[in-house]
Amino acid sequence: MGWKCPECGYETNSDETKQCRGCGTIHIPPSFGLVSDTAGRTLAFRIDTVCGKNMIRNIVGDDYRYADQRQFKLSKQNTGLYIYHENEAVNKTLYNNSIIPPEGCQLATGGIITIGNDLAKMRVEFE
């Protein structure tokens, strides 16, 4: 089906292409989700969101209790989708088994977000 570039209007970018073939703009999917394979549930997003225990409790089961009210932020930027650890959170937020640096890190489909080393495991999916 493909996607149309919001910057230059180029219409024949394939779904697999992450960068516009007309102007080079990075394609950011309109929505993305966090998937819990253990619970079989997905939490979908379209806008920048701060995630915490109340939001993730429905997809990660009892592991939600290890998250703070403000655990991490998901943010769409011109270069892609990013995650930032909320500084006041007691337990660290990890992405692909690495602590998220203060400047955040870019997310990719299939990437794994956890609270601590292996709690509240959520897989990133772009739609």
- Tens of pLDDT, residues 85-101: 999 999 999 999 999 99
Element (H, E) at 55: helix 53-60
Same domain, 15 and 72: no
Q: Would you state the structure tokens that stand for residue 8, as one six-digit string? A: 């230059």
Residues 21 and 64 in one domain: no
Examine the pLDDT at 12 and tell me if it is beyond 80.
yes
Q: Are residues 81 and 121 in the same domain?
A: yes
Q: Are 114 and 91 in contact (CB under 8 A)?
A: no
Residues 71 and 106 in one domain: yes
The CATH code of the domain that includes 89 is 2.60.200.20
Q: Output the CA torsion sign for 91, 94, 97, 103.
A: negative
Quick check: 10 and 4 in contact, CB under 8 A?
yes
Same-domain check for residues 8 and 47: no
Please write the tens of the pLDDT for every residue from 29-79: 777 889 988 888 888 888 899 999 999 998 998 999 999 999 999 998 877
23 and 64 inside one domain: no
Asked if residue 97 and residue 44 are part of one domain, the reply reads yes
Q: How far from 30 is each of 14, 46, 125, CA to CA, in Å?
A: 15, 6, 12
Check whether residue 23 and residue 37 sit in a common domain. no
Contacts of 20 by beta carbon, 8 Å cutoff, 6+ apart: 5, 7, 8, 10, 13, 26, 27
Are residues 44 and 88 both part of a single domain? yes
97: which 2 tokens? 């088994």
Q: CA 90, 94, 126: angle at the middle one, nearest 5?
A: 125
3 and 55 part of one domain = no
Q: Say whether both 96 and 66 belong to one domain.
A: yes
Domain with 24, as residue range(s), is 1-28
Counting the structural domains of the chain, the total is 2
Q: Is the pLDDT of residue 127 over 80?
A: no
